[in-house]
């Protein structure tokens, strides 16, 4: 199966069913199918062929969704770039991918045009609305060119090194991931999913893919800057699903959600990490009938685990068990499988695992290694986990985030989990600071609720009560906010760099 068939099949099933609700517009599956056919023909007319890369630099708009499926229907490979990216980042991705086409907002094009002059692009599309809403190109589909082993997307991620890496995902990879996600979330055509996450991030992109697979509707917003407006839209459209990241759950946990009728909301998801405990208790208090799914994943395979909602109170620190149709295990530094209860690196195998990093064979060999069987490669995630006796996973931290202090290895996540249990702390990050005596000292950087007055002594006392002495931070810094990446995650590398430079 090819990824574009999610749209085509849903359009065939119900041409008039609402697929997207965006900026006051309602577009049906039939609308999107026909518009993406026109755009696919425009790409083909510009010389875009099977396997060519198409970079899409658009906000969360209907045109962005159309462009994704148009690239697929043209047999090409799409690569999404956030419009908030610097000109240098966009041009680096265009160059690295060897892109043949660029679909970009006209205002953004003006700021990067000079940088693009020496790149071998066949076509640049600064405005696609005339193509979508006219008869310049026919609305019937191009002949199918691809098979499920062909690349569908390059998803660029900075990874632990900071250098952009193009994660190569085939149609089979993405169909497999979307199918598993839709299965455990029990998505149906009756769902209405509110998505404020950027499509340039896998978590946001898969809201579209899983919805289109089952014929559901997506409310597509450009961000979470105005939470009350988002909640109003959810109430108006009777949203059933809401994907969150921790910064969003922190905001919602401080709001009076009873002011909005969210009785239609069926589930909330959180990816990348377990819900902070105080967020869980607050959201369950405000929305007692909503199912909460803690999930873990990474760009290289999109999703690994989910915690069934009936386990959220039993094991709130867990990110769950494996998604359907995959296998994982935990190994030591030598690649030997570890017993349950022991911390080690998580290894994942399944049809959703990437093919590698675009034109980075050494990086690919580092993470895709021999699997349990001679015919396969498995994904070594670089993330440290432990598994309990019932097979539930607990995230410990990134291997490259480990702080070495007093001859001991300390995982920042363990300290951050303790910090979140102190009432009044809404965000926390722990970094290592070079120290001539300790090797590294531990620094906690926290954000507190406006009405709460915490001192450094309060925080250190709390840590000392719950942690071994070598894990207790040496200092605490209070901030009004923590820096975030474009995907809304805490920018740990930035914090660590500044801490080392201080």
Per-residue pLDDT of the chain (502 residues; tens, 9 = 90+): 999 999 999 999 999 999 999 998 999 999 999 999 999 999 999 999 999 999 999 999 999 999 999 999 999 999 999 998 888 889 999 999 999 999 999 989 988 888 888 888 999 999 898 898 888 899 999 999 899 999 999 999 865 445 679 999 999 999 999 999 999 999 999 999 999 999 999 999 999 999 999 999 999 999 999 999 999 999 999 999 999 987 788 889 888 898 999 999 999 999 866 677 777 888 888 899 999 999 999 999 999 999 999 999 999 989 999 999 999 999 999 999 999 999 999 999 999 999 999 999 999 999 999 999 999 999 999 999 999 999 999 998 888 788 888 778 788 888 998 999 899 998 899 999 988 778 889 999 999 988 888 999 999 999 999 998 989 999 999 999 898 876 667 888 788 887 776 6
CATH number of the domain residue 431 falls in: 3.30.300.30
Spatial distance between the Cα atoms of 348 and 335, rounded to a whole number of angstroms? 13
Q: Does residue 232 contact residue 238 with C-beta atoms inside 8 Å?
A: no
Q: Answer yes or no: do 44 and 86 share one domain.
A: yes
Q: How far apart are CA 499 and CA 445, in angstroms?
A: 10
Considering the domain architecture, whether residues 481 and 435 belong to the same structural domain is answered as: yes
**Any domain includes 113:** yes
Q: Is 181 helix (H, G, I), strand (E, B) or coil?
A: helix
Cα separation values, 165 from 287, 307, 358, Å? 39, 29, 7
Q: Supply the range of the domain harboring residue 139.
A: 5-169
Assess if residue 54 is contained within a domain.
yes
Q: Tell me, yes or no, whether 189 lies in a domain.
A: no
Long-range contacts of 375-381 (CB under 8 A, 24+ apart): 376/349, 377/353, 378/347, 378/348, 378/349, 378/353, 379/300, 379/301, 379/347, 379/348, 379/349, 379/353, 379/354, 380/331, 380/345, 380/347, 381/298, 381/300, 381/304, 381/345, 381/346, 381/347, 381/348
In a domain, 60, yes or no: yes
Within-domain flag for 210: no
Neighbours of 132 (CB within 10 A): 24
Domain end, chosen from 169, 186, 212, is at 169
Measuring CA to CA, how many Å separate 128 from each of 65, 115, 140, 427, 482? Answer: 12, 22, 17, 40, 37
Alpha-carbon gap, residue 388 to 390, rounded angstroms: 5
Work out the widest C-alpha separation in the chain, in whole angstroms.
Answer: 72
Same domain, 420 and 379: no
Residues 233-278: tens digit of each pLDDT: 999 999 999 999 877 888 898 888 989 999 999 999 998 666 777 7
In a domain, 268, yes or no: yes
The CA distance from 393 to 316, in Å, is 11
- The structure's pTM equals 0.88
Task: Count up the domains in the chain and report the number.
Answer: 3
As given in the structure block, the two tokens for residue 152 are 């569908």
Q: Are residues 96 and 141 in the same domain?
A: yes
Together in a domain, 289 and 353: yes
* Whether residues 372 and 407 fall in one domain: no
Provide the b/e sequence for 218-237 (b: ≥16 CB within 10 Å). bbbbeebeeeeebbebbbeb
| CATH number of residue 277's parent domain | 3.40.50.12780
Residue 379 lies in a domain: yes
Same domain, 426 and 358: no
**In this structure, is residue 207 part of a structural domain?**
no
Choose the final residue of a domain: 397, 428, 448.
Answer: 397
The verdict on 374 and 352 lying in the same domain is yes
Residues 365 and 419 in one domain: no
457 and 387 share one domain = no
Q: Are 74 and 476 in contact (CB under 8 A)?
A: no
């Amino acid at each position: 199966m090819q990824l574009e068939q999610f749209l085509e099949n849903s359009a065939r099933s119900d041409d008039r069913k609402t697929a997207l609700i965006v900026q006051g517009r309602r577009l049906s599956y039939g609308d999107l199918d026909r518009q993406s056919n026109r755009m696919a023909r425009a790409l083909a007319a510009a010389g875009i062929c099977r396997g060519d890369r198409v970079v899409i630099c658009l906000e969360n708009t209907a045109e962005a969704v159309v462009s994704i499926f148009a690239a697929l229907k043209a047999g090409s490979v799409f690569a999404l770039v956030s419009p908030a990216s610097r000109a240098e980042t966009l041009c680096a991705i265009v160059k690295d991918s060897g892109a043949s086409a660029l679909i970009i907002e006209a205002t953004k094009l003006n700021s990067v045009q000079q940088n693009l002059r020496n790149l071998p692009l066949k076509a640049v599309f600064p405005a696609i609305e005339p193509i979508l809403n006219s008869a310049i190109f026919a609305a019937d589909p191009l002949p199918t060119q691809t098979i499920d082993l062909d690349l569908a997307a390059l998803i660029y991620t900075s990874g632990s090194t900071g250098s952009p890496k193009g994660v190569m995902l085939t149609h089979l990879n993405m169909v497999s991931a979307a199918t598993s996600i839709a299965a455990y979330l029990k998505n149906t055509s009756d769902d209405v999913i509110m998505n404020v996450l950027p499509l340039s991030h896998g978590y946001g992109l898969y809201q579209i893919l899983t919805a289109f697979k089952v014929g559901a509707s997506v409310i597509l917003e450009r961000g979470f800057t105005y939470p009350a407006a988002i909640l109003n839209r959810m109430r108006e459209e009777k949203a059933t699903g809401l994907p969150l990241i921790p910064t969003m759950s922190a905001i919602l946990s401080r709001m009076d959600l009873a002011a909005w009728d969210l009785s239609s909301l069926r589930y909330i998801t959180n990816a990348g990490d377990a819900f902070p405990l105080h967020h869980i208790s607050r959201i369950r208090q405000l929305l007692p009938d909503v199912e909460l799914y803690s999930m873990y994943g990474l760009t290289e395979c999109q999703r690994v685990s989910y915690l069934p909602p009936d386990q959220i109170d039993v094991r709130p620190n867990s990110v769950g068990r494996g998604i359907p149709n995959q296998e994982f295990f935990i190994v030591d530094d030598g690649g030997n499988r570890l017993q349950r209860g022991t911390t080690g690196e998580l290894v994942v195998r399944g049809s959703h695992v990437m093919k590698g990093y675009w034109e980075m064979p050494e990086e690919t060999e580092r993470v895709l290694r021999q699997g349990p069987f001679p015919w396969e490669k498995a994904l070594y995630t670089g993330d440290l986990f432990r598994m309990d006796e019932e097979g539930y996973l607990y995230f410990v931290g990134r291997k490259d985030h480990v702080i070495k202090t007093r001859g001991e290895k300390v995982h920042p996540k363990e300290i951050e989990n303790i910090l979140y249990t102190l009432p009044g702390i809404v965000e926390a990050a722990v970094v290592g600071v070079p120290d001539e005596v300790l090797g590294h000292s531990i620094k906690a950087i926290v954000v507190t609720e406006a009405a709460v007055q915490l001192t450094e002594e309060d925080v250190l006392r709390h840590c000392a009560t719950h942690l071994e002495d070598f894990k207790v931070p040496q200092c605490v810094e209070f901030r009004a906010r923590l820096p975030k990446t474009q995907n809304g995650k805490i920018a740990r590398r930035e914090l660590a760099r500044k801490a080392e430079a201080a």
